[in-house]
Structure 1
Amino acid sequence: MSRTPSSRPIRAGVIGVGSMGANHARVYSELPAVELSCVTDHDDAVAHRIADEYDTEAVPFDTVLERCDVVTVAVPTRAHYDVVSTCLEADVHVLVEKPIAETVEQGRKLAALARDRGCLLQVGHIERFNPAVQTVADLIDDLEVISLEAERLGPPIDRTAPGNVIFDLMVHDVDIVDSLLDDRPNSVSAMGTDGGQYATATMEYGDVVASLTASRVTQKKVRTLTVTARDCLVEVDYLQQSVLIHRDSYPEYLIDDGTRRYRHESVVERPRVDNGEPLRHELESFVEAVRTGSEPVVTAEDGIEALETVQLIDSLIGEETRTPEVRAR
């Protein structure tokens, strides 16, 4: 069965220490009551460099499983299933970077394996831990939501084969909208252009509609969410970790020298946002769930549902037709 320490430090490892995995190693090394036990990577030079930087050891994959209570899996998506299943079979708790796997069926098998082994499997939808999103999550139940609009835009990345913009970027907002509404879409429509590097999707949740845009051809980095509610407009900036709530004020009619004038000023509220690094919040939550045996904030089932939706969006766009379609669940 899984290893769940009670008093000693939790021994953490990172499997795959590219740009994302290296950040996981950094944060694990900083967390109290956590020991960064070791790291591994297919590139030994990279593994040793990260190990030296964070005062740990670069070891083979099998050794990670022998030493660690928990691991982050930050390898390419095509390897998620094999690596995560091996970790779970070794009774090691896993945080796997999104998406949970290449296919929904693989994701379901991983979720079942985690249950059978008594292991925690958390999916790395990091935006759930953005303080601005957490602030909106606290507000959402009091709002009569009409629509949500998310934009996740940026310039081309510096690599020859950029990943799919839907799976790499839009998946974050699919997960956020599902979690805020505590629901899944009834229908989805989508279209894209520029070889799949710009995509839009519209998702219907009963009386609520969500519009998502993801782009790698926009010459400005944008990460925003707008919630239109019956009595207010909520603007979220992921990068600034800020939330603004715009409310209607009552109009005023002023009489000056016999002339009636109209003035209508908006009211802007700025709720407190406890700023912090989302990755640190994510790993703190993961470690706490392991220590207490509680359910993770982002479950394997959450990861599977997000993957199902982005796979549908990708299939609607397609590589050849690029025409909008609608499919109801």
Structure 2
Amino acid sequence: MRVGVIGAGVMGSNHARVLSGLPGVSLVGVVDPSPAHLTRTTELAGCQGFETLDQLFAAGVDAVTIAAPTHLHHEVALACIAKNIHVLVEKPIASTVEEGREIVAAAQKAGVTLMVGHVERFNPAVAAVKQAIAGEDILSIAITRVGPFPPRMSNVGVVIDLAVHDIDLIRWFTESDIVEVQPQLSSAVAEREDIALLQFRTANGVLAHINTNWLTPFKARSVTVATRGKYVMGDLLTRQVTECFGFKPDGSYSMRHLPVGHDEPLRAELIAFLKAVRHGETPAVTGDEGVASLEIATQCLETPSRPAATAPARKEPRRVAG
């Protein structure tokens, strides 16, 4: 299969590196207007570099991965779909929900595969958590995704850059839509929000919480899921997943570490995309799922915070009973 990469930044160069080593794949080339980015990525992946999309199209590709800046996703994806090229577009699917829906509609009309790059689903620790809670009555989910301010950040804040990963995971873990959002946002040092405490309720009654920021001096990525039968803790960086179960009335319980795979998440994601293309299967993360997660993230940015209700001032001191 002839595949191209659009965007030669950090993510795009990683796409090219992985694709260049996959069996049954011919990496045709990488597109980026920056000569420096092109040189670095083509040397890393051993492929051609193109300055424009038209040059890539002329070389001939069956599928592309889009790792360009988010504001270009809509234009680039539609151009590829118009050429009947299968598309994997990095998260978020687009800058706005409307643009995302247009991409989905165009792909459906053209009959091409469209997948959204929510790579965290392919983290082996996340997969282990998902397997551990399968068939369980989920009660609550808490996710922490924090770290230092990113030097390469563009024109989005932590909700679109980081929390959208975890919004997708909440929907995936619960297999339910998010029906209520309660965001608390702050711009402590950045122009856009760099702290976000987000609370959600899903249609099937699960309460979920995301803590994310760019103020922590080190990266931390963790997921905890409480069900009626167990409590599962996953560290997404060390890839350690622990399960507590067998709760007794005296407060005792059993604990065990769960087996976790060693696959590189991006490699697993790209293999899943190419498999969906080859066999005409529904991709692991559909365009509709990408739009749904973007819609919830957008709601978090648009929902005003409600001040806490204050009790009326007392004119007399409280009386102590007895």
TM-score (norm 1): 0.87
Q: Over residues 271-292 of structure 1, what are the superposed CA-to-partner deviations in whole Å (9 max), with x where a residue is unaligned?
A: 2111211000000000111111
- Specify which of 227, 230, 233 is matched with residue 231 of structure 2: 233
Q: Which residue of 2 aligns with 1:75?
A: 68
CA contact (8 A) 1:242 1:273 kept: yes
What stretches of structure 1 move > 6 A for 4+ residues in a row? Answer: none
Q: Secondary structure at the match of 2:294?
A: helix
CA contact (8 A) 1:191 1:200 kept: yes
- Specify which of 259, 270, 275 is matched with residue 288 of structure 1: 275
Provide the alpha-carbon RMSD of the alignment. 1.8
CA contact (8 A) 1:189 1:324 kept: no
How far apart are 1:119 and its partner, in Å? 0.7
Instruction: Label 1:280 to 1:314 Cα distance change in 2 as closer, same or farther (>3 A).
Output: same
Instruction: Label 1:235 to 1:36 Cα distance change in 2 as closer, same or farther (>3 A).
Output: same
Q: Which residue of 1 aligns with 2:122?
A: 129
Instruction: Note the 1:148-167 alignment, pairs <5 A.
Output: 148-159=141-152, 163-167=156-160
Q: Which residue of 2 aligns with 1:41?
A: 32
Q: Over residues 186-218 of structure 1, what are the superposed CA-to-partner deviations in whole Å (9 max), with x where a residue is unaligned?
A: 211111122510001111124210011111011
Distance in 2 separating the partners of 1:147 and 1:198: 22
Distance in 1 separating the partners of 2:234 and 2:260: 11
Match for 2:137: what amino acid? E
Q: Which residue of 2 aligns with 1:258?
A: none
Q: Percent identity?
A: 36
- Specify which of 96, 107, 113 is matched with residue 114 of structure 1: 107
Q: Secondary structure at the match of 1:304?
A: helix
Distance in 1 separating the partners of 2:36 and 2:205: 53
Distance in 1 separating the partners of 2:61 and 2:45: 16
1:311 aligns with 2:298: yes
Q: In the comparison of the two structures, how many residue pairs are matched?
A: 301
Q: Which residue of 2 aligns with 1:198?
A: 195
How far apart are 1:265 and its partner, in Å? 4.6
Distance in 1 separating the partners of 2:84 and 2:295: 27
Instruction: Label 1:188 to 1:249 Cα distance change in 2 as closer, same or farther (>3 A).
Output: closer
Q: Over residues 205-234 of structure 1, what are the superposed CA-to-partner deviations in whole Å (9 max), with x where a residue is unaligned?
A: 242100111110112211111001112110
1:89 aligns with 2:82: yes
Q: Over residues 34-57 of structure 1, what are the superposed CA-to-partner deviations in whole Å (9 max), with x where a residue is unaligned?
A: 111111101123213311221111
Q: Which residue of 1 aligns with 2:56?
A: 64
Q: Which residue of 1 aligns with 2:317?
A: none
How far apart are 1:130 and its partner, in Å? 0.8
TM-score (norm 2): 0.89
- Specify which of 209, 217, 220 is matched with residue 219 of structure 1: 217
Q: Which residue of 2 aligns with 1:140?
A: 133
Instruction: Label 1:141 to 1:128 Cα distance change in 2 as closer, same or farther (>3 A).
Output: same
